[in-house]
Structure 1
Amino acid sequence: MSLTPLTSVVFNPIKHHTATVVFSHGLGDSGDGISPAFLGLSKMLGHVKFVFPNAYDIDYLGENIEDRNEDEEGMLKSVRGLNGIIRDEVESGIPSNRIVIGGFSQGSAMALLVGLTSEYRFAGVAVNKIFKMTTDSNKGTPIFMAHGVIDAVVPYNFGKLSYEFLNSKGYSVNFKTYNTLSHSINAEELRDFAQFLKDVIPDV
């Protein structure tokens, strides 16, 4: 049975297209909902195409990381949809090492799942709020993680534990903490994300 392709909001590059960012939204949101926060970033990085998929929802993980209910079927369905977008970018001429996979909240879980299980070698993985299926393709890929200390939806400890786990497994993780940030994205985080993108997919 074939999977219906994900629809997406797309910010096309204003210069020669040499890199792509695929950024997934959180639970209950959409590509339309999250994309406006990145409009300035898109203009700053004119060589980058930004894709904001309208991803499938997966079940909320619950209050305690030990008791979370992982919706494996929903997650794998989303992974297949995201991999379809990535494959389209590669087939259009953008090498996988010029693609960054990112996400917010639920989308960050999907970014990690795609980034750590894909055979493609990505430029980077960016998440702001886990692995029997991991491959070595992205063992050395830079990972940008960001989390607000006062996040009441996805507790800060979840992000910290994820960072510590990935770090213990030898992944290259830069974990950013924002003391006054709740479950949202602010200007400071966007500035840090912009610098990360400039480092991993510089204009060429």
Structure 2
Amino acid sequence: MASLVRSPPLLFPATARHTATVIFIHGLGDTGAGWASAVENWRRRQRLDEVKFILPNAPHIPITCNWGMRMPGWYDIKRLDGNAESLRRDEDEPGVLVSQAYFHELIQKEIDSGIPADRIVIGGFSQGGAMSIFAGLTSKVKLAGIVGLSSYLLLSLKFADLVPKPTPNQDTPIFLGHGDSDQVVNYELGKKSYDLLKGLGFKATFKTYPGMGHSACLEELDDIENFLKERLPALGKGDEKSEL
């Protein structure tokens, strides 16, 4: 796993003074470019002008449920049959932890560049959403928010033991969205993950999109935009020297 090769993330610089960053993670078999149109959608109303968007690219790894063929993935998946328990069984913990370290590194790079942790949101879709929840809640810095779309809680049977103590993100808002017709990541698994997070005291909200499969709809994209605007409000010009 140490020899993984990743393409650099796709970047959308802030159109105004850069005061906040969103890291949004694609799903299995996709690339960062697959979410470029969603970023354009989120920026179209010019309510997120101070936000830089980072769309990471997963390395090509063998995926067991794809007959071992290599494809972009953040961790291996043994079975993908829509069963709520299949994704929880035989999880690729080493792969999850390698990707977790990579996302923690991306967060730290933003902090090192001058963006406070509480002006950073991490989110994603499917595998990317699962990684955003896991990496976000195991982060040692307090983030502005976490988004998980059509996803689930990784390593759920031991998750409570993997979270830092004390937990910086205990009160960090988490937006979870899921279609109730999802045939890939079972809707009930998404709901169970939400219930588990709430049971651990995390500040999660769960929204169901009736009739939606394993995808994202315009209503959900608008909900994410509103979440980002709420969590990353514009700060204005700021820090300008007085002319007195």
Per the normalisation by structure 1, the TM-score is 0.94
- For residue 49 of structure 2, the aligned residue among 26, 46, 66 is 46
Q: CA deviation at 1:123?
A: 0.2
**Superposition CA RMSD, Å:** 1.7
Structure 2 counterpart of 1:133, from 154, 162, 165: 162
CA contact (8 A) 2:19 2:115 kept: yes
Aligned 8 A contact 1:21 1:102 in 2: yes
Counterpart Cα distance in 1 of 2:130 and 2:199 = 18
Match 2:77 to one of 60, 79, 82: 60
Partner of 1:200: 231
Distance 1:117 1:69 in 2: 21
The number of equivalent residue pairs is 204
Aligned ranges for residues 142-153 of structure 1 at < 5 Å? 142-153=173-184
Contact 1:42 1:49 in 2 (8 A): no
Please identify the structure whose Cα radius of gyration is greater: 2
- 1:123, 1:201 within 8 Å by CA — same for their partners in 2? yes
- TM-score between the two structures when normalised by the length of structure 2: 0.79
Q: Which residue of 2 aligns with 1:94?
A: 115
Report the Cα offset of residue 66 of structure 1.
3.2
Residue 84 of structure 1: aligned partner: 105
Q: By how many angstroms is 1:53 displaced?
A: 0.2
Residues in 1 aligned to 2:137 and 2:22: alpha-carbon distance in whole angstroms: 16
Quote the offset at 1:42 in angstroms.
2.8
Instruction: Please report how far the alpha carbon of residue 25 of structure 1 lies from its aligned counterpart in structure 2 after TM superposition.
Output: 0.5
Identity %: 44
Q: CA deviation at 1:3?
A: 7.0
Deviations 1:37-93 (A, max 9, x none): 221213431111110100241122634343423111111111121112111110100
- Determine the structure 2 residue equivalent to 1:21: 22
**Worse-superposed segment, 64-73 or 116-125:** 64-73
The 8 Å contact of residues 149 and 179 in structure 1, kept in 2 or not, is answered as: yes
2:22–2:121: 8 Å Cα contact kept in structure 1?
Answer: yes
SS of corresponding position for 2:15: coil
Q: Which runs of 5+ in 1 are unaligned?
A: none
The 3 A distance-change label for structure 1 pair 61 and 41 is: farther
Q: Name the structure 2 match of 1:106.
A: 127
Task: Report SS of the residue matched to 1:118.
Answer: coil
1:118 corresponding residue in structure 2: 139
Residue deviations 1:115-160 (CA, integer Å, cap 9, x gap): 1111010000000123021121100000000000111111111110
Pair 2,95 (structure 1): closer, same or farther in 2 beyond 3 Å = farther
Maintained 8 Å contact 2:22/2:51: yes
Partners of 2:78 and 2:230 lie apart in 1 by 32
Residue type at the aligned position of 2:207: K
